Amino acid sequence: MGQPQKPIAAEQQILSLGRVLQSLREEDDVDVLIETTISYLKEEFDYRLIWIALYDRLNHILFGKGGITPDRDTSFLHQRVVLSPGDLLEQVVIEQHPLGIADLQTEIRAAEWRKIAEKLQIQGTIILPIRYKDRCLGLLLLGSDRWGFLLTGEAKARLMMVLGELGALLYQHEMHKQQKQTKRSDEPLLELLENLRPLTNLNQRLEAGVQATHKFISPNRTNVYWFDREGRYFWCRMSNQLVKSDRNSSNQQAPGMTVQDLSDFYYALAVNQIVSIGDARSSLKSHFTAKLLQRLKVRSLLAAPIIWQKNLLGFLAVESNEPRIWTETDKNFVQSVASLISLVTPTESMESTIKQIQEDAQLTGQVAQGIYSEQDLHETLHICAKRVLARLTATRFLLLQYDSEQNNYQFIYQSQPHNRRPLTFTLNPLKELDVQLLQRSTEAVEIENLDEDLRFFNWRPFLLESGVRSLLICKCTQSHIPAALLVITHETHRSWTTLEKDLLWAVSQQIGVIVRQWQLHNRTTQQQKTSQAFEQCLNILTKTQNSNEVEKKHLEHTALEQIASILGCPLALLLSWSPGENLAEIIPGVIDNSQFGIFSDASIPIQSEALIQWALVTENYLTLKVDNLPTETRKWLNTPDKGQILVMALRTNADYEITGVVLLADYQERRWSQQNLNAIATLISQLAWWRRQKQINRLLESTTEELRQLNWYKHRRLEEIQRITALSLKQIHDLGIPANELTQMRYQLLLRQLDHTATSMSGMLKLENWQLHISWETMPIASLLKRSLERIENLLHKQKLWIGVHGLGQPIDEQESPKNSSLVRGVPSSSAQSAMAIAGDIVKIELVIHELLVTACNRSPIGGRIDIWCRRLDGSKPSEAKQSSASVGAEHQTSLELSITYNGAIESQLLTELHQNTLKDVLAPSKLDQPPALHLLICQNLMLELGGELNFYQLPDNRVVSRLLLPLVSHDS
């Protein structure tokens, strides 16, 4: 099948569209393009109202270019329409999308067109943008007398093709027009450069720049404003309406302005930014824009800064009394002229600048010479401050140093006029942003207006209250936190030149050498102070005449003073107690501040006092704020709320008792140096050892005194008993021997026993007056055990105890020992007694065995059992025996192991303390301080002196063993 034939009307529309597009492409005149488009719309579309307008984007205005109306009155179609917010026409211009209106007569957002629609009976309306590359070039309005009349798809496509072609042609025409209208700025600039070359006076050069700028841009007024740093204001130095001007001129037409009034304008110029204010456009904030225009009495302004070596000298301004859009060419030309002026400005003051540089070099040289000579550092700073203040016309010269302990900045030197008082406050540490600012800075940091500048914010209240309004800050040393700062202040808002800031920077780096010398001097002084404190404290602690409690507390008080002097603390005290006590006593050391109060009579419970417990669980010193103290502590310790406390326990050894806590306090938070903290930790540790030594000495002296008294008393009593016994024996001998044979035999037996007792007592009184005498005897172990058991016979009967002896051979006949028959088993007869004999001080060994048997009886339950095990150990040697002169000198000797076992209760702590290798704290409360444990310790130590051993331990079946190791008589003896 063939292609269907197209309707004749469609062919006609295509042909008409092609003709109009061809006509548009071949035409260059804008008015002919618009007429061609209107004719096409009139022929091809059924609309009674057609209006085309071109858009001025700079002024936001539509210019009517014609159209058709029902009454053929087209005068209003050529009017200028100012777009306003909310208008339908502005909506299409901004959004660049077609807009359909069902009834234009009822549309309230098109006030003027609403009246026209009512007059011409227009209802359905379409508004289309004429655009190219997202740029609106104009509008097309089509109006119909029918309600809601809209375009069909085919008609809309043809219309958009025509409008697209028209938009492209209008865009090309506008670009061509802009290129023709663009002014060339290179030729005027080259001409200005040639005109500046022969001129030698700065005012003549300024005049040439102003005239060239005024001629090229054609504003109402062209001015050069000059900046006065001390007064911090701009004054009109040159104008196209004045040949020449100065700051004191009374007929100045262009007004001056202060930086205080227009800070944003000033700061924009200071960072080399051009300021442009035109019709509805501004590079500044609206508030400052209105203020600046009102101050200069203009409607438009273009200002370019004049800068030399980072210093703002002034600015070139072109001013217009009407709203004006400044082109890029205008901005570039003004900026170029301002740069040319900045290049020719320094030549006028070249000689004065060279002279000033020479004076600055002389100043820095004198400062350096003062530092490295024998001149006093304060005198050097005085001369330096005087000259710097005069050179920079400043008010105050401040040298600050960071105190790490106080965590603030303090004035270590300051200079000011005679009618100004020195600053007495301290400054808080810098915020992190300010610290980073100083660390990165390679020149002086300038603050022209302290009231508005937010840098160094936490210093502002103090400085403003002291009359400071502007300042320069330099770091003197390189450190994480700037340790030293040099600050120059002024009482008015002002700025400084780069040359002045470079001078202050050079001076500050030299002053850093002074600060480092001071730091070394202070460090040396502190080390000397610490050394003196060590020496005095050690001298105090080595004194031995403090035998009484009053002298001891006095020396502790003096030692606390030396410890507090290292940290400079106004409060130092000692919480002291003795081992086993529950309450601590306050020993005051230093109270140098009325803000502190101590209730010295308070009894402080050790277990519930937080400061004591915190110190006990801390291995070294502990620092804390007063805010962290509980209420109970505040009852006896009154300190300022912002204070700081250091506590440290008197610790000597991990196994030794702690007998006190040192407390140091300050009225404010401080960061003590690690060197000082280590020093006081050493002194406190030394104090702990000294106190422990003194306590041990007092304990030993007290114990020695008691034992001497006891020994004197018992010795004198034994002398009296010996005297009476000897007298009784003499009397018995004087009476004679009884006649009865049996009585005589018993009499002689008792008499021999009394003689033996008296003889042994005489020997003891003679040889063991103030020390033990080790004798050398031998005795069969069976005889020794038999005598020991006879001594505890009553105790065995009383507690119904059964006792057995094992390891000695044949048991004893019941007839030979009728008294022990029911209680003792296993002791051999006299014929077997010579099998094993022990050697040594038999009397003392017998006393030891007796003590062990008594302890076993007392700890055994009623009706219990006690076993004595004897075992011969060949070739053994006591591990820690201290052999006396009477003991066997062989390297290896035969020993007897005598073990006493019983089912009794014994404390595990007592067994631990009786162990020979256990470290004992003589000041700690112990069961070995009192009988019966004390008796066991004495026996244990005595056996070491006698060449044997005594150990105590517990078997897995809970039986208690007293193991005694005794030397046996060898076969060669």
Q: What number of other Cβ atoms are within 10 A of residue 67's Cβ?
A: 24
**Are the CB atoms for 54 and 63 separated by under 8 Å?**
yes
What pLDDT does residue 280 have? 61
The answer, yes or no, to whether the previous bond of 932 is cis (omega within 30 of 0) is yes
Q: What DSSP assignment string belongs to 871-915?
A: EEETT---SS----TTS---SS--EEEEEEEE-----HHHHHHHS
Q: For residue 537, what pLDDT is reported?
A: 67
Question: In the predicted model, what is the mean pLDDT of residues 445-453?
Answer: 88
Q: Is the pLDDT of residue 926 over 70?
A: yes
Q: What pLDDT score was predicted for residue 542?
A: 66
Residue 235 has pLDDT above 50, yes or no: yes
Q: Which is higher by pLDDT, 125 or 347?
A: 125
How many of the other CB atoms lie within 10 Å of CB of 462? 14
Highest mean pLDDT of the ranges 6-20, 369-383, 501-515, 536-550: 501-515
CB 219, CB 187: distance < 8 Å? no
Is there a contact between 923 and 699 (Cβ–Cβ < 8 Å)? Answer: yes
Q: How far apart are CA 540 and CA 537, in angstroms?
A: 5
For the chain, give the number of residues: 973
What's the pLDDT score for residue 919?
55
Q: State pTM to two decimals.
A: 0.50
For 367-398, what is each residue's pLDDT tens digit?
A: 666 555 555 677 878 888 888 888 888 999 99
Mean pLDDT on 229-258: 66
pLDDT digits (tens, 9 = 90+) for 949-970: 999 999 999 899 999 999 988 7
- Bridge partners of 315, per DSSP, are 225, 305
Choose among 92, 73, 90, 71: nearest CA to 82: 90
Separation CA 363–CA 384 (nearest Å): 8
CB crowding 208-219: b at 16 or more within 10 Å, else e: bbbebbbebbeb
Q: Please state the rounded mean pLDDT for residues 791-798.
A: 88
Q: Which of 653, 625, 652, 649 is nearest to 639 (CA)?
A: 625
The pLDDT assigned to 53 comes to: 92
On average, the pLDDT of the chain sits at: 80
What is the pLDDT confidence band of residue 822, given thresholds at 50, 70 and 90? very low
Average pLDDT, stretch 323-347? 84
Q: What is the DSSP secondary-structure string of 723-756?
A: HHHHHHHHHHHHH---SSHHHHHHHHHHHHHHHH
- Return the minimum-mean-pLDDT range out of 36-40, 220-224, 516-520, 606-610: 516-520
pLDDT at 568 over 60: yes
